[in-house]
Amino acid sequence: METVTEANHRQHLLFKVPVVILNTDACISALGFGSEAPGSASEIQDAVVSALKMGYRHFDTAAAHGTEEAVGKGLKKGFVDGLVKREEVFVTSKFHLLDAGEVRPAVEKSLSALQLEYLDLCLVQSPSKLLKSCTYPPNQRESASLPSSVQEIWEALEDCVQSGLTKAMGVCNFSAKNVKEILESASVVPAVNQVELHPMWQQKQLREFCQGVGVRVSSWRPLGGQPPLSVVNNSVIKEIAETHGKTPNQIALRWLLENGVISVIQSYDPEKLLEYIKLFDFKFSVEDLEKLASLDQDLPFYVV
């Protein structure tokens, strides 16, 4: 009789979730389970277990989201139940810009909440330092220029890599200018820049820049947002979806995959998780890609 673990691996192969190679030589699944959306602890924990069973191997969380503990419990259950081993999953967490002395304690706090010995990737969540009174989601930020202490912060995160607390480090919502500022003095190149990116906000120049300096791009908002940025309601995407017998969400996620972008989806609904992972049994035509390229608009939700 097939065991739970064997069945899980069989299903994972069926979906054929591709991996992306980072500049550290680590492999990260091109489709990630995000935990920014609101939800109860039990809902998130159950969703993580469901995602593991479906073949998800990349889990993204953040201290500011307040979901690390629930994600950690879900992962631990997956480990205990034999669904997956720790080394078979890629776990990312994030923190906002802090004083350099607060970086290591922040990473250690995330590890404690997640019940893990190390992170696969730790990201600086914004190029702007949050005001002390700011809550999440942030609605107040200091200047978009990097603080003068950013090198000290980056060095503190580099120390976390050297100590084995995280295997890789990166950034979120950084413009090309911000990444250049990091590269001018950092000894470790960011492995990932996680930004808003979807068919209606394609960020081609940023993608090309990051590719040129060896930084992978990830999208924390792969499915757009409210109209006119809604993937589900876009007539062109709906037409392409009907052609391939897919949903608009699947078209958007596949487009990101085709462009080398890592997608982090946000849902705890098992049906949605299953929908999002069924991306690998169709291909776009040249005409499809031309139509999708034409959707780019200068209407981001989050400006970098």
Q: Give the Cα separation of 219 and 278 in Å (integer).
A: 18
Q: Give the Cα separation of 120 and 213 in Å (integer).
A: 21
Q: Where are the domains of the chain?
A: 19-130+145-293
List Cα–Cα distances, 116 to 57, 58, 98, 205, in angstroms. 15, 14, 22, 36
Q: Give the Cα separation of 1 and 8 in Å (integer).
A: 13
List Cα–Cα distances, 95 to 46, 68, 111, 121, 130, in angstroms. 25, 12, 12, 11, 11
Q: Give the Cα separation of 35 and 79 in Å (integer).
A: 19
SS (H, E, C) 202-234: CCHHHHHHHHHCCCEEEECCCCECCCCCECCCC
pTM (predicted TM-score): 0.87
- Looking at the predicted structure, is the pLDDT value of residue 8 above 50? no
> What is residue 152's predicted lDDT score, i.e. its pLDDT?
83
* Residues 6+ away with beta carbon under 8 Å from 242: none
pLDDT tens column, 239-296: 999 999 999 999 999 999 999 999 999 999 999 999 999 998 899 999 999 999 999 9
Q: What is the three-class DSSP state of 172?
A: strand
| CATH number of the domain located at residue range(s) 19-130+145-293 in this protein | 3.20.20.100
Structure tokens, 12 = 């994972």
- Looking at the predicted structure, is the pLDDT value of residue 4 above 50? no
